[in-house]
Structure 1
Amino acid sequence: MSATSQEPDSRPAGPARRDVLMLGAGAAVGAVAVGGGWALAERDDGDEKAEAKAPSVEADTPPAPDLQRFVSTQLVAPRASTWRKEGAALSAGLLLTCCRTPSFRGLIYDDAGQPVWIEPDGNAGIDLRVQTYRGRPVLTYWTGLVLEGLGFGKGVLLDEQYQVVAEVRAGNGILSDFHEFKLTDQGTALVTAYPVMPFDLSPIDGPAEGWIFGACVQEIDVETGEVLFDWDGMEHIDLTETHRKREEGEGESQEKPFDPVHLNSVVRDGDAYLLSARHTSTVYRVDRSGEILWRLGGERSDFEVPEEGRFGWQHDAQRQPDGTITIYDNHDNATETDSVSAALRFEVDEEARTATLVQALRHEDRYGYAMGNAQYLPDGHVVVGWGMDPIVTEFDESGEAVFELRDLALGSYRAYRHEWTGRPRTSPDLAIGPDGSAHVSWNGATEVARWRLRQQGGAVVATVDRSGFETAIPLDGAGGRLVAEALSRSGQVLGRSRAVTV
């Protein structure tokens, strides 16, 4: 399976895959079914720190997250908390997460730790963020079946009304994995895929007729679904580059493949691609022909990496506008039990083949042995999602921690800060609580400043400021048929609930 590459404005037919097998929904590769959702277990061998600090995902019942419940809706969200340095200025925008509860859910929080949008259908939602498509902001995420450390599904684009703009599926006989769903300025999407395929594992003392999860990248035209670039990493990455040890039985059957590479991010990098592979602890730069231009880190690094910049089992390799390369270093290769994860920034001299560490962001003992990312914002702030450590930290331009969103259930695959305006097509939700008050909410609405409660077609009962995801309004003896109206800062009516009888 060779890489195929076409410029985004051409539409050649992609080659058919004939030597790739996908696992059916009934073939759970070490998956743990918990509470109706699929738990993600991205564990690796030889890590005492993971045993000491991370919640077990192999147990029958993982720790139950503290969920916030409401009166006006059945939606639930992890009860997050926040910390803010006194007097600190924060970047603009909301915080986008995909909390694991134990299945992943897309959730937007404000700076007070209150939910703004909760994925309403109960679908798995991973890598929730705001991207641009056709010049307009869209909310994007991956959804599908989540197994142990990987998934089979599709990418989704939503407009400001939370209506589906497009869905993106991998082509040529494979299904997209949840680790990446990145839109480009060319109207394309980058996805990863882990097809199950036969492979000779004898170089690592495995069976010659073995089985692996592949390491594929595709660039897909969002509008047409055409595959414009199709890269099979196992044609270019040597099996001996893997840092992962085979567990008993791994690679011996189609039902239990070995995962030697584990791609977890891909972005366009000029006329090439920048890829991160967790199980080789390597960042790869790949050209449009599919050839590897260089390796940063790992067993075959083309760069001299300083000792203080050594990274392992990393995620989220990005090229920044100033040319530096940033990485979220899980640091899961340490045998000691005091590992700390970090957001690392390197100046890379591609001619001299040197990498200079220019910044390392850590905070206290934050350690996410799996998942995680680092978002570098235009104002110099950096938002770090610590993955399995269920915390998001914002650093200011000097590298000082100024804000944290905490208690995100069992962790979040990635976390971002984005400006987002949500104008849902749904109506606000109104219900009368056991306390005798009216409770009103509007999932995803970002412009509500006040709530007005009135008798249907009649007098105003009360007008109060919005207070978190759900606002309680005392009735003070009012009865009859009541309607709640969402008001903007200027007093414009943005939406009305259905009438509720008191």
Structure 2
Amino acid sequence: MKWYTAGSALLLSLQAAAWDYSTYSSMGFQPPKLEVNKTGTTDPGYIFLGPRGGVQTAGSAALIYDDAGNLVYEGPEEVTANFKVQKLDGEDVITFWAGDMMDVGYGYGSVHILDNTYKEIYTVTLTGAFVTPDNSQKDSYCDLHESEITPSGTIICTAYNVTQHDLTSINGTSSSYMLDSQFHEIDIKTNQVLYSWSALDHEDQIPLTTSHQGLGKDVGTQQSDPYDAYHINAIAPTNHGYMISLRHMWSGYYLAQNGSVMWTVDGEDGGDFKQINNPRFSWQHDIRVYNETDSGLIVNLFNNANTPTDQESETTGLSMAIDLTKKTVTGLRSLTDPNDPIHSVSQGSYQLLDEVDSHVFMGYGSISKVKEFDGDGNVVFSAQFGDDNAVASYRGFRCQWAATPFWNPSVVVSKTDSNITVYMSWNGATEYDNWVVYSASDNTTSSTNTKIGSADRAGFETSVTVSIPTEEYIQVVAQQGDNVLGTSEFVTF
């Protein structure tokens, strides 16, 4: 067994960011520019990111981009994670965690659920007798790592609780401080906790001695510096319970409904299974289950294979078949870009986009890149949104999404001696394709508006330059063809 005193799973050695950020006249956003290299046919959908880090704070938000690198949506400035589209009551919603991220690699916050007008329809919180490193109380103890909506309309959230525990088995003390890795299944509409699981409740099946995270000098001696033996970072609902990922154990655990471990797949030695075709992994994230039957299942995960202090091998996207009858785990796919070897020390995601064409979208966590692979393992899309090891996004997704915001389009007018330039945008809108610009003599009616310009949509912000009109008010309309979808307020120039 290897023991490491690796840094936390989310820490970054932040460097001064030299990356370019976009600016707009109609909105005060400054998102990082998405540098795109599209080399093949991609699956449909937008790019969902939650960048943070570096010296640029204005772009720390939930962000949606299109495949050309244009911004589509920017949420409020805040630290976000796990930003994606999910299904709730048969409808598409977007979900993301927002809150305070701790230095030791987890967080305290809430999960926000928005409809296709960006109205927040539910806010998921977790309360209870949780202990924090500094004894502070939080409005919600949901951790950033997981916020998975289940088919039954509940949501699964991770949580970390500081606990005093006997660590003499790993050369600690009988009253050391450590993090208990937990998850909670919560009713979205009532915030009632329906199910809870604690790793420490199952120490007999998940011994602390099997952790690859070394107990560093003085770690665990104070409440402010608890030992993280497990580091839970993913939970997937299954036919008989849950599949969880414990990064510091290099293992996935299949749990029964009563919380006991039914079986373990270990990245080092296979756990309960014989390894075939090199399904090895370490320091993993984002474990997911597909095609589950009583005799087997497919498990996909993001294989970091690195920590801030240890480099095992190149980071990969790993798919493996588990045969419960033959007790084997077989490597199916190991996705890497031969032209861009990546060593992601923390975070990351593996998203199977379509089980038919087998496209996979990967977010590289601590490395500010995302890539899409086709069914043959070829890279068909790559994008970067910051300097290496300076900007991170906990996960990255490609999601199909259609939205018409509840807010109006934005418009700003700039005047010169002979012309005005009208800058137009509609944050988050996906369905409009053209703009029409009108002038008016007052700001109380649109019936007497005069059309003075028009333009096809041009990325996030579109501009039109026209001669100075005789009427002093300007209004813009976002359309799909000739169908009006949104109308701005009147502005003067």
TM-score category, normalised to shorter length: 0.7 to 0.9
Residue 336 of structure 1 deviates from its aligned partner by 7.8
Aligned twin of 1:130: 85
Give the 3-state SS of the residue equivalent to 1:77 in structure 2: coil
The residue correspondences of 1:416-431 to structure 2 (distance < 5 A) are 416-431=397-412
Amino acid at match of 1:166: Y
What do the CA deviations read for 1:450-487 (whole angstroms, capped 9, x no partner)? 01111034211111011111112112334621111111
What do the CA deviations read for 1:326-364 (whole angstroms, capped 9, x no partner)? 111001169886831111110101233210001111113
Aligned twin of 2:51: 99
Distance 1:115 1:247 in 2: 43
Aligned twin of 2:111: 155
Residue 294 of structure 1 deviates from its aligned partner by 1.1
CA contact (8 A) 2:268 2:281 kept: no
1:81 equivalent to 2:35? Answer yes
CA contact (8 A) 2:307 2:345 kept: no
CA contact (8 A) 1:341 1:362 kept: yes
Q: Of the candidates 357, 362, 365, which is equivalent to residue 341 of structure 2?
A: 365
Distance 1:433 1:261 in 2: 56
Residue 264 to residue 458, structure 1, CA distance change in 2 (3 Å) = same
What do the CA deviations read for 1:249-273 (whole angstroms, capped 9, x no partner)? 2101111111111000001011210
Residue 401 of structure 1 deviates from its aligned partner by 0.7
1:486 equivalent to 2:478? Answer yes
Which consecutive residues of structure 1, in runs of 5 or more, have no partner in the other structure? 1-43
CA contact (8 A) 2:307 2:346 kept: no
Give the 3-state SS of the residue equivalent to 1:431 in structure 2: strand
Give the 3-state SS of the residue equivalent to 2:44 in structure 1: coil
Which consecutive residues of structure 2, in runs of 5 or more, have no partner in the other structure? 131-140, 441-447
Distance 1:72 1:333 in 2: 42
Q: Of the candidates 90, 98, 101, which is equivalent to residue 143 of structure 1?
A: 98
Q: Of the candidates 396, 399, 407, which is equivalent to residue 385 of structure 2?
A: 407
Give the 3-state SS of the residue equivalent to 2:43 in structure 1: coil
Give the 3-state SS of the residue equivalent to 1:234 in structure 2: helix
Range that drifts further, 472-481 or 376-385: 472-481
Residue 171 to residue 496, structure 1, CA distance change in 2 (3 Å) = same
Distance 1:64 1:246 in 2: 36
1:309 equivalent to 2:279? Answer yes
Distance 1:155 1:325 in 2: 26
Identity %: 29
Range that drifts further, 181-190 or 429-438: 429-438
Aligned twin of 1:459: 450
Range that drifts further, 377-386 or 264-273: 377-386
Distance 1:287 1:230 in 2: 13
Residue 171 to residue 286, structure 1, CA distance change in 2 (3 Å) = farther
Amino acid at match of 2:66: D
Give the 3-state SS of the residue equivalent to 2:248 in structure 1: helix
Residue 298 of structure 1 deviates from its aligned partner by 5.0
The residue correspondences of 1:442-457 to structure 2 (distance < 5 A) are 442-456=426-440, 457=448
What do the CA deviations read for 1:409-460 (whole angstroms, capped 9, x no partner)? 6121111111111111111111124885211111100011001111034211
Residue 413 to residue 434, structure 1, CA distance change in 2 (3 Å) = farther
1:375 equivalent to 2:351? Answer yes
CA contact (8 A) 1:422 1:446 kept: yes
Aligned twin of 1:318: 288
TM-score normalized with structure 2 length: 0.86
Q: Of the candidates 470, 491, 494, which is equivalent to residue 461 of structure 2?
A: 470
Distance 1:394 1:434 in 2: 44
Distance 1:127 1:501 in 2: 40
TM-score normalized with structure 1 length: 0.85
CA contact (8 A) 1:171 1:226 kept: no
Aligned twin of 1:3: none
CA contact (8 A) 1:71 1:433 kept: no
Give the 3-state SS of the residue equivalent to 2:322 in structure 1: strand
Distance 2:310 2:488 in 1: 56
Q: Of the candidates 322, 325, 330, which is equivalent to residue 351 of structure 1?
A: 325
1:114 equivalent to 2:114? Answer no
1:218 equivalent to 2:184? Answer yes
Amino acid at match of 1:198: Q
Range that drifts further, 278-287 or 165-174: 165-174
What do the CA deviations read for 1:265-313 (whole angstroms, capped 9, x no partner)? 0010112100011111111111111101111115771122347321100
Aligned twin of 1:328: 302
Distance 1:366 1:296 in 2: 24
What do the CA deviations read for 1:72-129 (whole angstroms, capped 9, x no partner)? 11122111110011xx22111111111114565211110101111101x212221011
Residue 408 of structure 1 deviates from its aligned partner by 4.4
Number of residue pairs matched by the alignment? 449
Distance 2:17 2:36 in 1: 21
